[in-house]
Structure 1
Amino acid sequence: MAARKQRSEPAVFIVNPQAGGGKSEKQLKQLLEEIASIYGNAKIQYTERKEHATELSRAAVKAGAELVVAVGGDGTISEVAAGFFDANGKALKPLKQAPALGILPAGSGSDYAKTLGIPRSSAIALQILQTKKTRTVDAGLIDFVGNNGKKTKRVFINIADVGIGGEVVEILERQGKKMGAFLSYQIATLRGLIGYKNKNLEIVLDKKQKFDGEYNGIVVALGKYFGSGMKIAPDAECDDGLFDVVMLGQMSKLEMVAKMQKLRKGTHIYEKNINVYRAKHVSIRSASRALIDSDGEMPGECPAEFTILPAAIKVVVPPTN
């Protein structure tokens, strides 16, 4: 077999060593050796805490990296993508000068990678990186109340939601994913439903279309999947400049459980009490505490404003994407 030609472009790989419950040392070593054989001068950095990936990514963007790769699950991908922006959601560099975001799925959840057609196989994902084919995609900015009680902002790249999703993520953060992504999400969802009460919400789309009432949850989607493979927004396109807003209306716990399989297939959008709209801006207020899920993390609660950041970031994708 011919020796691989090393690439000279600056590349930074940001690795979450705890992704997927902590990849085995052998698996991680093999992956890093493969990276080194292709990107000989690449910088490999490890995350040590929450939001550390954003700090590392932001430093790489400012230093002029041409490729910044997230090695991990949806949380790591989201944090690395957030590093392309400042704390107020403003791009650090014009799109033409900004690096591309690369994705090597290595976590328990790979929902955003699935939307982009990037497989779970690290070997194939590495081959995709080498094609350098990029797709310019949207991001979203949330203005909300953080867990510290202060108003804050956060960039997301896949899906954010208010209501049952935030409750499930809060439970998931406590219980962990030791049983694997799919089973862990299923258990957290069932646990969340047991004590969950539909929220009295006020939703305003593009500052003109208003909805009031009891809702199970409101999903603000750029990608199609969340919750380890649930096709929550089957018609969403991550580069159309619009959120797909999936409104899960008032429903009982039994109704929600009965719809789980349809949620996974994406056929739930044809059910009564579920409606889909498209918007560039979404405002959500709640009469009671309503938690937010942002790319699989629970950063705070309502009131919240969601604003589209169109054509915000370049992502390396498969040649057929």
Structure 2
Amino acid sequence: MTAGNKVIFVVNPLSGEGRTSKQWQKVERLLRKKNYCFDVQFTERSMHACQITRDALQKGYNHIIAVGGDGTINEVVNGFFQNADAINHAAALSVLPMGTGSDFARVLSVPGGAAYAEKLLIDYREQPCDVIKAEFTAWDGSPLTRYFINVADVGVGCETCIRVNKNSKVMGGFLTFLIYFLGVIFSFKSPELRIEVDGELFFTGKSSLVAINNGKYFGGGVMIAPHAQIDDGRMDVTLLKDANTLDFLLALPSTYKGNHLTHPKISLTQGRQVKISSPAKVGLEMDGETPGTGDVVFEVLPAAIKLLI
């Protein structure tokens, strides 16, 4: 462990359908047995990981390790910021995946378990990571700013996440997302969207999905943006124009390998700022959470977080 590091594990015991609680006990026993110095705090409610992280950074902790799934990581990332600025620019984030989807861990190609937890304390490497700021409307109608480091989307992905988050994830990330996605596509109606990228009109019309990508994966292993990089200072935008059920079914297998980009209804671009507006009340999903609705503005914050992996 680097001298001067003050480490806290932020653990969501309910992630992974409650499996994280038991898995973490094994990890902590191993680390304590080897006399590593760290603190632990468990989340108790929605957005608690955000507050724990914010408080920890203000108290001088400089290495925050998120233990859970993509939602836990998202909350921790939001805790790094206050009043649109980083609380501690020198602080670092690590991910110990134990959740259902674990798409960001898939992006980083990192495992879970005690051996990797130990590596995060003594043998890590630094990786700069862009963060994307999103300004939109919360479900209660108030303006809201949130941050994410993997993927956000409007459309069928969001509707799938709403169903996933209301139900059990006991089948794991891949099957859970797949089953609810198949349920959504038979009744989904594509909304009218207007999309601007870096001030230029990119698309207007009906769209079934717009994914704003920092990482490559979402939805429990769908490689929605195979060329996305977390440190290039840009968002990859994946647009699926108005699709019917047959379009979804035919394209789905290729999305898990990232071979869907040649589909005639898919368009791609990159940018530093993306604006999405719609006359309809469309939901917004980011990193597996669904925090709001309405028009949204995305902006890249280059290398805004330092990862230790």
Shared fold per TM-score greater than 0.5: yes
Contact 1:11–1:39 under 8 Å retained in 2: no
Correspondence for 2:172: 180
Secondary structure of the residue aligned to 1:260 is: helix
What is the Cα deviation at residue 128 of structure 1? 4.3
Contact 2:130–2:214 under 8 Å retained in 1: yes
Counterpart Cα distance in 1 of 2:167 and 2:224: 23
Alignment of 1:29 with 2:25, yes or no, is yes
Counterpart Cα distance in 2 of 1:198 and 1:255: 13
Among candidates 294, 298, 302, match of residue 306 of structure 1: 298
What is the Cα deviation at residue 92 of structure 1? 1.3
Equivalent positions of 1:6-17 (< 5 A) are 9-17=5-13
Correspondence for 2:57: 61
Correspondence for 1:266: 258
Which one is further off, 278-287 or 38-47? 38-47
Equivalent positions of 1:59-208 (< 5 A) are 59-86=55-82, 88-93=83-88, 95=89, 98-208=90-200
What is the Cα deviation at residue 165 of structure 1? 1.2
- Aligned partner letter, 1:133: R
Contact 1:110–1:120 under 8 Å retained in 2: no
Q: Would the alpha carbon gap of residues 249 and 306 (structure 1) be closer, same or farther in structure 2, given more than 3 Å must change?
A: same
Counterpart Cα distance in 1 of 2:262 and 2:42: 43
Count of paired positions: 309
What is the RMSD of the two structures over their aligned residues, measured on CA atoms? 1.8
- Aligned partner letter, 1:139: V
Secondary structure of the residue aligned to 1:269 is: coil
Q: Would the alpha carbon gap of residues 125 and 114 (structure 1) be closer, same or farther in structure 2, given more than 3 Å must change?
A: farther
Secondary structure of the residue aligned to 2:81 is: coil
Counterpart Cα distance in 1 of 2:266 and 2:2: 51
Unmatched 5+ residue regions in structure 2?
Answer: none
Among candidates 19, 40, 43, match of residue 44 of structure 1: 40
- Aligned partner letter, 2:72: T
Secondary structure of the residue aligned to 1:138 is: strand
Q: Would the alpha carbon gap of residues 153 and 6 (structure 1) be closer, same or farther in structure 2, given more than 3 Å must change?
A: closer
Contact 1:8–1:39 under 8 Å retained in 2: no
Contact 1:201–1:214 under 8 Å retained in 2: yes
Q: Deviations over 1:150-198 (max 9, x none)?
A: 1111111100011111111111111131222211111111122122101
Unmatched 5+ residue regions in structure 1?
Answer: none
- Aligned partner letter, 2:46: K
- Aligned partner letter, 1:231: M
Which one is further off, 146-155 or 5-14? 5-14
- Aligned partner letter, 2:84: G
Counterpart Cα distance in 1 of 2:187 and 2:114: 38
Secondary structure of the residue aligned to 1:21 is: coil
Q: Would the alpha carbon gap of residues 12 and 128 (structure 1) be closer, same or farther in structure 2, given more than 3 Å must change?
A: closer
Counterpart Cα distance in 2 of 1:122 and 1:186: 29
Contact 2:131–2:305 under 8 Å retained in 1: yes
Percent of matched pairs sharing the same residue: 35
Q: Would the alpha carbon gap of residues 277 and 207 (structure 1) be closer, same or farther in structure 2, given more than 3 Å must change?
A: same
TM-score w.r.t. structure 1 length? 0.92
